[in-house]
Each structure stands twice: as C-alpha cells, then as structure tokens.
Amino acid sequence: LKSNVKSVESLRNMYKSLDTNIRSLEKKTKERGRDDENKDVKETRSKFDLHLNVTVDNFFTSVSLAKELHKEKITIVGTLRKNKPEIPVEFQSNTSRKVDEVTGKPNIVLDYNKTKGAVNTVDQMCRKYTVKRGTKRWPLCIFYGMIDIAAINALIIWKEKNANWNENKRYKRRLFLEELGMGLVSSLLDHRSRTSKNLHTDIRNALAVVGYPAVEEETHEANENSAQRKRKRCSTCDNSKDRKTSNNIKRLLGVDMLTIKQYCSKDHLKCVNTIYSNREYDLNSLTG
C-alpha cells in the first residue's frame, strides 16, 4: 500500500461495542506519528464518560500519553517493550513485587489481561461470521471490516432492546445476521425478480430458494410464431431465381410416415397441392 491504513478500536469492555476510526496516514516522522497515536487515544474522552481507564497495547503506550490522560482524569494500562528508556527500575522484574497468590502474576498484569479481551473477542466474532471476500482493492477490505463491526454493534443494540429474543438458542448471532441480511436485500431481490429479463438459470433458482421466484416471460408463443414465419428458398422455383417464402406445408411420405416441411412460393402453392393430392399432408400447417 502507498499509505498506511490504521484502524483504532476503542470500546467499553462491558458491551464489547466497537467504535472504529479509519485513518490514512502518509509517511511521517516517528515524532509526528506518535502525536497522532496520542490523539486517537485521547478521543475516547469525548466518546465515553469521564473517569475511565483505557487499556492499550505497546503501539500506543507511552509516558507522555499517560501524563496527558491523567490531566483529563483518565488512567491508562498498557504494555511497554523492555528496551524503552522510560521504564523505571521499580517496574523491571524483581522478586519483591507483590503478586497474586493464585496466579503468581502482578495485579497490574491481571487487570490488563482482564480488560484487553474485548478486542480479541470482536476479532474472533468477525472471523467466524464475516462478509469479507477476496479482493485487490484495499478500500473494499476496509469497507468489509466496517460492515462486520456494524453488524456486531447492531446485535448488541438489538439484544438490549429485545432481551427475550431467542433466549434459549445458543446461535443467536447467526440468526440475527440471517434476518439482518435478508432485511437489507429483500427489496432489491423483489425488484429484480419482477423487472429483470433474461436472468441466468442459477440466479433464478437462487431467487426462488429465498422466496422470490422470477416472473416467467411469455415468450413461448412468440418464439413459435417467429419460427413459423421463417423464410426459405422455394423448393419448386429454379435456384437462380432465389425466391424466398414463408409459406410451407408438411407432407407425410411412405409407410414410415416421415414428416418433411416444404417451402413453396404463392405461385407454386396450388401446383404442389395438385401434385401431392393423392398423398396425405397436413393442410392445417399451411401458413401465409
């Protein structure tokens, strides 16, 4: 990609609801990039309530960001790489630090592990049911991701408003996505099944499966009429005259009742009827 695409995810761990901000950044210096990252995290203050704790990974964590957020009454929990000069000696590994008796881990690590899982949960949900398809257009990849996240947010809102909806089923999300998808495309399916012409057989079958059978075109009779009016060279006239006609008769030849079609111009039509008067042929098939 010619530009870096960054998706910043800020959410409440309680609802696992996502607010995605898409930024396209040109090549910048490291200092400029750090300012933009700090700005993304500080935007959570305007989106959520005050007195929050923000959990981030080492992509965002910095001492300068922690100080700025502390002024806004926002605390931050994040990871730092060992080689960062900002890490004080007290934060480095030592045997005197207080740890949890059960897990043997520091309390700050337990808190970080407890609050970081929402993003991983959303990623897992997006991987299980997704609209993503193979494409070489990176804006379309971002659009697919936005649809996946919007569907998750829609499910959260729906469950808050309809707490008893399919409460005994474990696959609520799949049912919700099926209804959501059909609700978005039902009007388009109905319009296409009624107005589109010459649909492919596979498309017709797919429309019928979801309850939108395509309207059959009344072209059978028209095709027969067009076939009857087909023009060919008169079988009696000399070939050099090249006389074309749409008049034809069907004759039955021999004991095998072989049916043939013979085209005759109007000048020879009576003559042909006289020649074959002793033979049986279908006069009802005569067209003019």
> Token digits for 19?
């607010």
What percent of the chain lies above the pLDDT cut of 70? 55
8 falls in which pLDDT band (50, 70, 90)?
low
- Neighbour tally for 22: CB within 10 Å: 13
3-class DSSP assignment, residue 247: coil
Structural domain boundaries, residue 181 = 172-209
Q: How far apart are CA 187 and CA 185, in angstroms?
A: 6
96: in domain: yes
pTM to 2 decimals? 0.52
The structure tokens listed for 69 are 């957020």
> Mean pLDDT across the stretch 155-171?
88
More confident residue, 207 or 49: 207
| pLDDT given for residue 177 in this prediction | 92
Evaluate whether 173 touches 155 at the Cβ level (below 8 Å).
yes
Token pair for 200:
């492919």
Of the three residues 68, 100, 127, the one that is the final residue of a domain is 127
Amino acid at 149: I
Average pLDDT over residues 196-215: 82
- 22 and 121 within one domain: yes
Please indicate, yes or no, whether residues 238 and 202 belong to a single structural domain of this protein: no
Question: How remote is the C-alpha of 183 from its chain's centroid?
Answer: 14
Q: Say if residue 23 is in the same domain as residue 107.
A: yes
Residue 132 lies in a domain: no
Number of domains in the chain: 3
Compute CA 4 distance to the chain's CA centroid, rounded to the nearest angstrom.
Answer: 25
Query: Does residue 74 lie within any of the structural domains?
Result: yes
Q: Are residues 122 and 18 in the same domain?
A: yes
Higher pLDDT pick, 14 / 104:
104
Identify whether residues 243 and 196 lie together within a single domain: no
Residue 176 has pLDDT above 90, yes or no: yes
